Amino acid sequence: MIRAPKGLEGVIVATTLLTKIDGQAGRLIYRGYDVTQLAGRVSYESVAHLLWFGHLPNQQELSTLEIRFFHERALPNQVIGFLKGESKVAEPLSALQTSVSILGGLRGRIESSIIDSSMNLTAQMPTIVAAYHRLRKGQEPVAPQAGLGHAANYLYMLNNKAARPEHIRALDSYFTLLADHSLNASTFVARIAASTLTDVHSAVVAAISALKGPLHGGAPIYVWEMLQSIRTPENAERWLRDRLQKHDRIMGFGHRVYRTEDPRSRVLKELARQIVDPALFKLATTVEDTARKLLREEHPERPIDVNVEFYSSVVLHAVGIPPELFTSTFACARTVGWTAHIVEQLQDNRLFRPDAEYIGPEGLTLEATTPGHSA
């Protein structure tokens, strides 16, 4: 029997054609393309096609996918009814998770392929989040609009108005950067669920469960709360030193794989420079520089650098997404990656079934005086 390290760090449990992470060089590659070259140069829809089908689409393939997304975006009445009843009490990710489960139950009545279900769900995720948000505020959901891309429609459905072009480009780039990241916790959970031959929606429900944790998709909101607590660049060092002295985690720093700056962060930082209020951008960069310096003082033996969550928070805020929707927006972006991994898992499936080493007692026996045991 092979003993694996805690957290399976460094253990290869699958082969993939989808995504490669070079943690030493700080590179993220989707099917051969460096993600920093894709973000802002091709649309999120093109990246979805790349991950699902293995190549960037030609114009006809891209138009077909865009039309498919538009026709799939509308939600059935059962989901809208659930959101109307629960939007005031359910937190966003739980509402999204249950909505996906409802969609899966309805989808089960339709004969469709794994890829059809993947497209359907990817198209509907932003509609769910936008409808939930508007209903929570006492407003009616906004129907998707023809002619708008995936990112543009999300912003339109949230705010009931056309978004600024620079905001659409920024969110589209964010979606591309977050589309996949190899076997992160939620994607691994999705593949484990898929290995049981469950349906796509159920596997994504499982992935959303993993995404809820603050060490995964929940991190950007904590970065935002940190920036709001610090308030001004002048407060950064005092605030950060106080947290480090208390052995608190500095959110937005460190990564299990990257041993240098997260490459997605570089792109997001440049997007932030272009669209974020200058005062907020100065605060963010000051906190970044100060935290990096203090963390290197405290841990000179290992690099701890900024990760994708840090500048995600300020970019999402700048395009008009409220902090409570940060993690749900992450889920909207990652749905393409989750479903691409589900498709890949099922192409050469084997049920995941690792062992656990038992370290508890053995040989215990029931005695006559044991409570609940009759002599």
Tokens of 214: 């603050």
Q: What are phi and psi of 33, to 5 degrees?
A: -100, 130
Tokens 């699902």, residue located: 52
Say what the pLDDT of residue 23 is. Answer: 79
Say what the pLDDT of residue 300 is. Answer: 80
Task: Tell me what the mean pLDDT of segment 204-222 comes to.
Answer: 85
Of the two residues 254 and 154, the one the predictor is more confident about is: 154
Q: Is residue 258 scored above 70 in pLDDT? A: no
CB-based contact 209:189 (threshold 8 Å): yes
Q: Is residue 374 scored above 70 in pLDDT? A: no
Asked about 299 being catalytic, the answer comes back as no
Q: What are phi and psi of 39, to 5 degrees?
A: -60, 120
- pLDDT band of residue 370 (cuts 50, 70, 90) is low
Q: Is residue 145 scored above 70 in pLDDT? A: yes
Q: In this predicted structure, which of 146-160, 232-246, 254-268 has the lowest mean pLDDT?
A: 254-268
- pLDDT band of residue 8 (cuts 50, 70, 90) is confident
Q: Is residue 101 scored above 70 in pLDDT? A: yes
Say what the pLDDT of residue 109 is. Answer: 56
Three-state SS at 79: helix
Tokens 């960069």, residue located: 285
Q: Is residue 203 scored above 80 in pLDDT? A: yes
Q: Is residue 209 scored above 70 in pLDDT? A: yes
Of the two residues 257 and 116, the one the predictor is more confident about is: 116
Q: What is the pLDDT of residues 272-318, one digit of tens each?
A: 999 999 999 999 999 999 999 998 888 887 778 888 889 999 999 99
CB-based contact 120:133 (threshold 8 Å): no
Helices (H), the chain: 35-38, 44-53, 59-72, 77-86, 92-107, 114-136, 150-159, 165-177, 185-195, 200-211, 219-230, 236-245, 263-275, 278-298, 308-318, 326-347
Say what the pLDDT of residue 344 is. Answer: 96
- Active-site pick, 45, 66, 309, 344: 309
Say what the pLDDT of residue 276 is. Answer: 95
CB-based contact 173:267 (threshold 8 Å): yes
Q: How far apart are CA 185 and CA 189, in angstroms?
A: 6
Q: Is residue 1 scored above 90 in pLDDT? A: no
Q: Is residue 108 scored above 70 in pLDDT? A: no
Asked about 261 being catalytic, the answer comes back as no
Q: How far apart are CA 155 and CA 134, in angstroms?
A: 12
- Active-site pick, 181, 255, 317, 341: 255
Q: How far apart are CA 291 and CA 283, in angstroms?
A: 12
Half-sphere exposure of 40 (CA within 13 A, CB side): 12
Beta bridge partners of 34: 29
Q: Is residue 142 scored above 80 in pLDDT? A: yes
- pLDDT band of residue 259 (cuts 50, 70, 90) is low
Q: What is the pLDDT of residues 18-58, one digit of tens each?
A: 999 987 888 999 999 999 999 999 999 999 999 999 999 99
